[in-house]
Every structure is written in C-alpha cells, then in structure tokens.
Amino acid sequence: MNADDWLRTLTAELHQRRVAADAARHVVAEAATHLREGGGDPWVVFGPPQQYAGAVVESIGTAPGPRPGPVRLHAAGITKKYGRRTVLHDATLTVRAGQIAAVVGANGCGKSTFLRICAGLMSPDAGEVTVSGRLGYCPQSGGTADFLFADEHFVLVGAGQGVARGPARRAGRAAARQLGWEAGGDVQARHLSGGTRQKLNLTMSTLSAPDVLLLDEPYQGFDQGTYVNFWDQLSRLRDAGTAVVVVTHLLNQLDRVDIVLDLTPARETGWHAPGIQGGRQ
C-alpha cells in the first residue's frame, strides 16, 4: 500500500467512524503534508490506517450522528411456517429513518424469509408490516435480466417511477460509481462477474431513492474494496435519512449498525425471537 492508498483508507475509516467532515479533511491534509515533507512509509510513521483513525477518534471524538427520524418500517409478530416447521416466530423489528438494522442468525433461520415478508413478496402466517414511504429491495441473487445491459436495467427500473431514460441512466451510473463500478458499456448482465452483478443488483434497489431499503446479503462476491464502499454507501444512505435493513452473517460489521435482530431460534442461543435490538442504538 503506497502513501496515496494509505491516505484513501484513512479517509474512509474516518468517514465510517463518523469523524466530522471538516476535522477528517484536516487530519488527512496534515498527514499528507507530513508524509510529503518528512517522507517515509506511512505504515512506519503512523501505523495501520485503521489504528491511526482509532487514535484520531479517541483524540477529537466523533460528530454526533443525525437523530433517528420517524418510524419507516414496523414489522410486528411475524410468524411463518413451511409445512410443520416454524421458521419465524413472533419476530418484530422497528426501524426509523436514518437507522441501519442488521438481521442476523444461523443458516435457515428465516432471515431471507423475514426480508421477503417485509418487502411484501411473501405472506406471513401471522403478523403485519407497516412501511412508511417507498420500498427498495435487493435479493440475495437473481433479480437481473441476463441479456440486458446495465443501462437497460436502469432504464427499466426508472420507467417504473416515471423517470425518463437519460436521467435513469445517469442516476444508475452515479449510484454504481459509489460502489467503485463504472456501469456504462455494452456488457450483458450474464457476462458480469458475480460481484459486479451484485453491484448491479444493489444499484437497482437504490435507484428509486427508497425510504426503506431491504438488502438480502447483497455483498456476495464483493472484493474487500467494494465491501468497504458498500458499507460507506449504507452510511451515506443512513445519513440521508433512509431506513436500511440488511441481512448479514458477517458479525464484524455489527458495530456499524444501529439495531440488531437475531433470528436464531431460542434453543440455539438461549434467547427468544424476536431477538435483540441493540448495536449503536
């Protein structure tokens, strides 16, 4: 990692840790000046960027996060059975504008089912969901058309909202750029790599500027850089007032979320669904 990469990583880390934008710019500028004038390997001079960002946060603190807004998603008493097997029992989740909720749990515990019920793509056996505003949904896989270009996906989704072709294409490309992907070009979706296809999937779900965004493990196939960009984008959406629900099994990201809903059955964890609501809240 050269000095530029190190500085970029530091910038991302400061942003993720919610250091005020002005202060973060100042810290990065100072570090850059120091490296330019004094020379040396930033890893030797400052240490790993994550560690340095942590020290900065300890020293100057973080900007207060925006106060959560009104309730955007309220799922209450969701129960779902497949035959005799109960996959969800009385699961409840409330997410406000400007919050990220993580839905976690063991394989087969009903995370995707819960999200599909919240999206209205599947009916529960009991319970109800109230959504305030527009809903966006990104499935775990699929959800794209093999023989269409990325731009055509943007046009297709845009037309649903009455958005003209040009603006839909531009909005799609801009959203894709946030994930480090230049979406233009005549490449059919079936020829995209798994990770890039998921970027397309994710971009489609954010294109309609949803008030509630439901993401079902959307980062399958992402490389490390894209994964960081993904969480950056979630932070941006949260700061812009979107209520985000993300199904994840990567527990190391839970410090970045406001609410955790654990759907692991009670006999495995000792708790009872509907799980916990914790995290940063």
Partner 1 sequence: MNRLVTVAEMTLRELLRRRGVLLLLLLMPLTFYLIRRDAYLGQSVRSLLLGVGWAVSTAALFATTAARELEPRLRLAGYRPHHLYLGRMLGLWVVGLVISVPFFLLPMVDGADLRYGGLAAALLCSVAVAAPFGMLIGALLPRELEGTLLLLTVVTVQMLIDPAGSGAKLTPFWSSREIATWTVDDTDQGYLSRGLLHGLVVTALLALGVAAVASIRLRRRRHLRHLPVG
Residue closer to partner 1 by CB (options 32, 148) is 148
Residue 5 or 146: the one with the smaller Cβ distance to partner 1 is 146
Select 6 or 137, whichever has its Cβ closest to partner 1: 137
240 lies in the binding site for partner 1 (CB under 8 A): no
Backbone angles phi, psi at 213, to 5 degrees: -115, 120
Stretch that binds partner 1, among 42-50, 87-95, 156-164, 258-266 (CB under 8 A): 156-164
Q: Which residues contact 118 (CB under 8 A, 6 or more apart)?
A: 73, 75, 93, 129, 131, 214, 245
Q: Does 204 bind partner 1 (CB under 8 A)?
A: yes
Applying CB under 8 A, which of residues 86, 132, 269, 277 lies at the interface with partner 1? Answer: 132
Rounded to the nearest whole angstrom, what is the least distance from the CB of residue 84 to partner 1 in the complex? Answer: 21
Closest approach, Cβ 157 to partner 1, in A, equals: 5
Residues in contact with partner 1, counted by CB under 8 A, come to a total of 41
Neighbour count for residue 131 (Cβ, 10 Å): 20
| Cβ contacts of 98 within 8 Å, gap of 6 or more | 65, 66, 67, 68, 69, 238, 239, 241, 242, 243
Q: Quick check: 38 binds partner 1 (CB under 8 A)? A: no
Contact 160, 140 (CB under 8 A): no
Q: For the range 159-163, what are the long-range contacts, defined as Cβ-Cβ under 8 Å and sequence gap of 24 or more?
A: 160/208, 161/208
User: What angle separates helix 224-239 from helix 194-206, to the nearest 10 degrees?
Assistant: 10
Span near partner 1 by CB under 8 A; candidates 32-40, 100-108, 130-138, 266-274: 130-138
Q: How far is CA 70 from CA 55, 98, 215, in A?
A: 34, 9, 20
Contact predicate 48/10, CB 8 Å? no
Q: What angle do CA 124, 97, 144 make, to 5 degrees?
A: 60
Which one of 11, 144, 229, 235 is in contact with partner 1 (CB under 8 A)?
144
C-beta of 18 vs 197, nearer to partner 1? 197
Question: Which of 42, 68, 105, 143 is close enough to bind partner 1 by CB under 8 A?
Answer: 143
In the complex, what is the shortest distance from the CB of residue 208 to partner 1, in angstroms, rounded to a whole number? 5
Give the nearest distance from C-beta 13 to partner 1 in angstroms. 33
Q: Of the ranges 2-10, 32-40, 132-140, 232-240, which one interacts with partner 1 (CB under 8 A)?
A: 132-140
Minimum distance of partner 1 from residue 244's CB (angstroms)? 15
Residue 180 and residue 257 in contact, taking contact as beta carbons nearer than 8 Å: no
One symbol per residue from 94 to 123: x for binding partner 1 (CB under 8 A), - otherwise; what is it?
A: -----------------------x-xxxxx
Spatial CA neighbour of 213 closest among 248, 238, 230, 178: 238
Q: Given the rule CB under 8 A, which residues bind partner 1?
A: 70, 117, 119-124, 127-137, 139, 142-148, 152, 155-157, 159-162, 188, 204-205, 207-208, 211
